[in-house]
Amino acid sequence: MVNKPLLLAWITSIIAMSGSLFFSEQMKFVPCTLCWYQRILMYPLVILLAIAFYRNDKEIYKYILPISVIGVIMAGYHYALQKIPSMSEFSACTSGVPCSGQYINWFGFVTIPFLSLIAFIIITVSMIVLWKRK
């Protein structure tokens, strides 16, 4: 039987990783410091969730949930830096590409950190569902 929350989390992590690589490698968008931190959190999830899905490991939430919650917090903070002007004084980016920069701004609110936030939320909710089903 397919473990749907685990599959959803894994597919989400693959899409998130592929999207970030597309933006940096194909579109030539240079990642800011917070983008790199979010990548550091997301990329291992692809491998960990693949192994967990293959093994049908229902205990993986113990390892994934802390990482994805930190990702939600980091992506939420990054999105706030972009969308709330007064937050710019609290920016973690002191050199290179500014964290408040917006390479994309679809529909007036969809930016790269917003996409990251949605991915981390989907993974977090999937892990909570996995945990509650146990």
| HEC secondary structure over 15-54 | HHHHHHHHHHHHCCCCCCHHHHHHHHHHHHHHHHHHHHHH
Per the listing, tokens 């229902």 go with: 58
Residue 81 Cα distances to 53, 64, 78, 93, 121, angstroms: 35, 26, 5, 10, 18
Tens digit of each residue's pLDDT (9 = 90 or more) over 65-103: 999 999 999 999 999 999 988 887 767 677 778 888 889
Tens digit of each residue's pLDDT (9 = 90 or more) over 27-56: 999 999 999 999 999 999 999 999 999 999
Q: Are 33 and 93 in contact (CB under 8 A)?
A: yes
Q: What average pLDDT does the structure give for the chain?
A: 93
Catalogue all structural domains in the chain, each as residue range(s) with its CATH number: 4-133 (1.20.1550)
